Amino acid sequence: MKRSELNQIMQEAVAFIWKMNFQLPPFAFWSPDDWKSKGHEYDEIRDNMLGWDITDFGGGDYPKLGLLMFTLRNGNLKLPQYVKPYAEKLLIVQEEQVTPFHFHYKKMEDIINRGGGNLLVQAYNSDSKEGFSTSPVAVSMDGRNFIVDAGETIRVLPGESIALPAGQYHKFWGEKGTGTILLGEVSKVNDDNNDNRFYRKEGRFPQIEEDCEPLYLLGNEYPAAAE
């Protein structure tokens, strides 16, 4: 992805988030120059990869295959000084923009439709070889527990949420004609370097073509702390 594309996505995301009456923390808006002056008191942001996270999953067509996330808080399984056993993210999903099938080895998460359009979700249990199982899928939505067929499409309306347990493949996208969606994610500790299993090989972090200066840095781009 080009840096100019990332900048535009961030600008549009900020406008949408404000429109939805959600406020981002101050570090969301720190420039690369701002980061150069930040000391070790901000290591939790660096070490836990808080902040902006944009991916096209290696497909090169972000509007069709992509996701914007902002990690608001997170623990760290390797650094015990960050004792939070939970994480929280904000996600923006456009109409028909797909996040491909994947599961997490350890993380369980709730995906919450905070407003905008309708979210469509497909889920499969994983089998012993980490493929798709044909077994029925147990679904939990806002206290309602029920069973669907493997791969059945589940609609999550604004205000609703769906719980996704570890080991359960899931794919989601915005329903055509319903608008962009603001999602929340509340989960166990998030570890994107070790805990993701994509059904097909996908690129998790984008390869960036530096055609301009960054508006804001991604969560995996922060410089070391100023001494």
Range of the domain at 36: 3-198
The rounded distance, in Å, linking the Cα atoms of 204 and 70 is: 15
pLDDT score at 80: 87
What's the whole-model pTM score? Answer: 0.95
What are the 10-residue block averages of pLDDT along the chain, 227 residues in total? 97 98 98 96 97 95 97 94 95 98 97 98 98 98 98 98 98 98 98 92 86 97 90
| Domain-embedded: residue 223 | no
The rounded distance, in Å, linking the Cα atoms of 51 and 1 is: 18
The total number of structural domains in the chain stands at: 1
Q: CB neighbours (10 Å) of residue 178?
A: 16
Q: In angstroms, what CA-CA distances link 58 with 65, 193, 222?
A: 9, 15, 21
Query: Which residues are within 8 A (CB) of 12 and not within 5 positions of it... i.e. 6 or more apart?
Result: none
| Domain-embedded: residue 67 | yes
CB of 52 within 8 A of CB of 219?
Answer: yes
CB of 199 within 8 A of CB of 11?
Answer: no
Q: For residue 183, give the CATH number of its domain.
A: 2.60.120.10
- pLDDT tens track for 14-32: 999 999 999 999 999 999 9
| Domain-embedded: residue 220 | no
- pLDDT tens track for 172-207: 999 999 999 999 999 999 998 899 999 998 877 888
pLDDT score at 227: 73
The rounded distance, in Å, linking the Cα atoms of 4 and 207 is: 13
With H, G, I as helix, E, B as strand and everything else as coil, classify residue 94.
Answer: coil
| Domain-embedded: residue 217 | no
| Domain-embedded: residue 218 | no
| Domain-embedded: residue 144 | yes
| Domain-embedded: residue 206 | no
Q: In angstroms, what CA-CA distances link 160 with 66, 119, 182, 190?
A: 22, 10, 12, 22
| Domain-embedded: residue 211 | no
CB of 93 within 8 A of CB of 109?
Answer: no
